[in-house]
Structure 1
Amino acid sequence: MTTLTTPYYLIDENKLLKNLHIIQQVREASGAKSVLALKCFSTWCVFDLMRQYLNGTTSSSLFEARLGHEKFGKEVHAYSVAFSESDIKAVREFAGKIIFNSISQLTRYHSNVCGLKLGLRINPGISYSHYDLADPARKYSRLGVSDNSEIAKVSSLLSGLMFHFNCENDDVDHLSAAIDFIGIHYGNLLEKMEWVSLGGGIAFTKAGYPLDQFCEKLKNFSEQFGIQVYLEPGEASITHGAELVTTVLDVIHNEIDIAIIDASLEAHLLDHLIYHTTPKIISPEPGTHRMMIAGRTCLAGDVFGEYDLDARLEIGSEVRIADAAGYTMVKKNWFNGISMPSIVVRRLDGTVEIIREFGYEDFKSSLS
């Protein structure tokens, strides 16, 4: 039997499969292809499963694009807020589509990549985000081009456009209205293109999401402009697919009982700290025992949250933290030299496999 030592990220392939089946359903009903957003999830030990349901990967850097090529295969969409010349020379060898963030980048590097399918990110001036930090249409946004007349001048260099304007959008009516807006304001451009990406940040694998309405909107949009639609699911691909398993190391009291676990919000679930959100606890179950759960770093605010639990946590108690896949493993860090969680997978057949453990040599080699 596999011996697991906390902390570790536990990826469950059967839970991933639920999302992947929905992605497949959307493709079959709407014709929209989906490419995995590696900025959200790049843990390639489960790519053998994911590539059966996704059309490829999309990236935000040279390294992500190369990883998609080497470990996922299929389509490789390479985007970056700003490519360097060396990036372009490298990425052109394995990317099928290169998407530029600005007209200046497109015109500067066009001669290096002519012959490939090129795209341009458009900022339509509309967005959906609960957080200004993640809002691509925020004031002074550098993400995408907003001047239609300038876009028209370079349209002959392009085969596609990207509109990435959502973050955690679970409102299908809002999304439908936004797609209509894009059709109205960019229809003349879309009619000249082979493909369009509507980006990620669409929570269409969420329980209860109106998939029929979503698929109909995508299908109609595609048919209206004679264009291949792409989605870039990141969180939608892996939501509820993993958890962070930890152990309580100490319990102290300062007006409230505080359980200190062998993991860190700062180092292992960084997005919650950045966005001031509270992760959900899978185990213990809810109850009447009020406790704070905190990380083991010296950062005063390394706190997962306050929870009402069915039992008081004690030294040695196990704590399982939900949704530990998206924007977690890609952002984990060595702050305080705290032990990095191992990566563990529960395969479709129930087999538990330790994929990677991290030790002192990994910590040392990450420095200089």
Structure 2
Amino acid sequence: MKIPTPYYLIDERRLLRNLKIIQQVRELSGAKSVLALKCFSTWSVFDLMNQYMDGTTSSSLFEARLGFEKFGKETHAYCVGYSPDDILAVTKFADKIIFNSVSQLDRYYDIAKSAKLGLRVNPGISYSHFDLADPARKHSRLGVADKAELANQIHRLSGFLFHYNCENDDVDAFSQQLDIIGDCYGDMLKQLQWVSLGGGLYFTKEGYPVEKFSQRLAEFAREFDVQVYLEPGESAITGCAELVTSVVDLVHNDMDIAIVDASVEGHMLDLLIYRLAAKIDSGDEGNHKYMVAGRSCLAGDVFGNFQFENKLEIGSEIRFADAAGYTMVKKNWFNGLQMPAIAVRRLDGSVEVIRKFSYTDFTNSLS
């Protein structure tokens, strides 16, 4: 099946590999996993994902509603700052409502108390390669840092959210973090029903010690008699999608440059934000070097430099790997460029084009 480029292609067989590891962690540790919709919200594969995960967690009213309507199971609602209308809406379907601050909990407690309520805690520790993504950075607004303030709210709460990791693939570092959390908050945890350890834990990485990780989670849950939740985003969908593009022009300016029919700014924005290069399977093994760039007007719209086995031509296909997380949720209409379609390769090998985007979608996104 030939699909016009550009398009995102999600492979359910690769997705299933991650989901089975998530299921293994649940079976070994008792920890439940809820999908972090801020990373991946493409609901056309939720029928597969909800067989292996326990629900969804969100960062806004719309994400929470999407999880409730399209994924089902548990719906955890978190937001850095709820509006009054948000709270009125989310109380109609959320199982857990998690507040970012005591002031928000105070303001909305009487409205939201029919749900299980939680507070986000800022433990003052983190694991992140980027200051931009570090929830414990100086002057962070994310979570409650004052332990006395937390203790005063325990009678209103059923759980805590700790989200303090970003791409943490070090199980020993994670174990040390749990020791710190247990030492600092253990007395409060024993008064709660559940604790979420957030996302940013790369436990589906090839070679990750899943059994050791699971054992540590189980020990923590037993010690404090709490239901542990994980919030995998990238870990759920890593390696399961590509952004498929075609070369539309070849130019030379001290080096060969291939321009493709997609954009870093519009279609893989996190690469630009964190100053990372895209990934291409076998993109460093050939003798033909090209800078691959997007077709927006942004001068820095560059996917990276790669080595190709064959010379590129107009129409050559280039597939950017690991293109599921923080891509489709961030895609935008910058420059009015053609939005990539979304396609899924199902478990049986068939490819289904789920959504195409048109000029009408572009105009409807504006006013």
TM-score bucket of the superposed structures, by smaller chain:
over 0.9
Which residue is 2:143 aligned to? Answer: 144
| Conservation of the 8 A alpha-carbon contact between 1:258 and 1:294 | yes
Which residue is 1:322 aligned to? Answer: 321
TM superposition shift of 1:3: 3.4
**Distance across 1 between alignment mates of 2:346 and 2:199:** 26
Which residue is 2:63 aligned to? Answer: 64
| Conservation of the 8 A alpha-carbon contact between 1:284 and 1:319 | no
Which residue is 1:186 aligned to? Answer: 185
1:213-252 deviation digits (Å, cap 9, x = unpaired)? 1001000000000000000000000000100000000100
Aligned residue identity for 1:212: E
1:1-368 alignment, distance < 5 Å: 2-282=1-281, 286-368=285-367
TM superposition shift of 1:282: 2.5
**Distance across 2 between alignment mates of 1:258 and 1:30:** 49
**Distance across 1 between alignment mates of 2:361 and 2:227:** 43
1:135-179 deviation digits (Å, cap 9, x = unpaired)? 000000000000000111111000000000000000110000001
TM superposition shift of 1:308: 1.5
The verdict on how the C-alpha distance between 1:284 and 1:144 changes in structure 2, with shifts beyond 3 A counting, is closer
| Conservation of the 8 A alpha-carbon contact between 1:285 and 1:309 | yes
**Distance across 1 between alignment mates of 2:13 and 2:176:** 34
**Distance across 1 between alignment mates of 2:172 and 2:201:** 12
| Conservation of the 8 A alpha-carbon contact between 1:61 and 1:78 | yes
Aligned residue identity for 1:305: G
| Conservation of the 8 A alpha-carbon contact between 2:96 and 2:117 | yes
**Distance across 2 between alignment mates of 1:284 and 1:274:** 22
1:249-298 deviation digits (Å, cap 9, x = unpaired)? 01000000000000000000000000000111126672121110000001
| Conservation of the 8 A alpha-carbon contact between 1:240 and 1:322 | yes
Q: For structure 2, which runs of at least 5 residues remain unmatched after alignment?
A: none
| Conservation of the 8 A alpha-carbon contact between 1:98 and 1:117 | yes
TM superposition shift of 1:184: 0.3
Aligned residue identity for 1:114: K
Q: For structure 1, which runs of at least 5 residues remain unmatched after alignment?
A: none
**Distance across 2 between alignment mates of 1:44 and 1:116:** 25
Aligned residue identity for 1:218: L
**Distance across 1 between alignment mates of 2:168 and 2:283:** 30
**Distance across 2 between alignment mates of 1:327 and 1:364:** 24
**Distance across 2 between alignment mates of 1:197 and 1:70:** 22
**Distance across 2 between alignment mates of 1:45 and 1:115:** 31
Aligned residue identity for 1:99: I
Q: TM-score, normalised by structure 1?
A: 0.99
**Distance across 2 between alignment mates of 1:352 and 1:308:** 29
Aligned residue identity for 1:159: S
Query: How many residues were matched structurally?
Result: 367
| Conservation of the 8 A alpha-carbon contact between 1:283 and 1:318 | no
The alignment partner of 2:25 has SS state of helix
Aligned residue identity for 2:118: G
What percent identity do the matched residue pairs reach? 66
| Conservation of the 8 A alpha-carbon contact between 2:283 and 2:306 | no
**Distance across 1 between alignment mates of 2:24 and 2:298:** 44
| Conservation of the 8 A alpha-carbon contact between 2:264 and 2:294 | yes
**Distance across 2 between alignment mates of 1:53 and 1:249:** 40
Q: TM-score, normalised by structure 2?
A: 0.99
The alignment partner of 1:217 has SS state of helix
The alignment partner of 2:326 has SS state of coil
The verdict on how the C-alpha distance between 1:125 and 1:284 changes in structure 2, with shifts beyond 3 A counting, is closer
- Runs of 4+ aligned structure 1 residues displaced above 4 Å come to none
| Conservation of the 8 A alpha-carbon contact between 1:284 and 1:311 | no
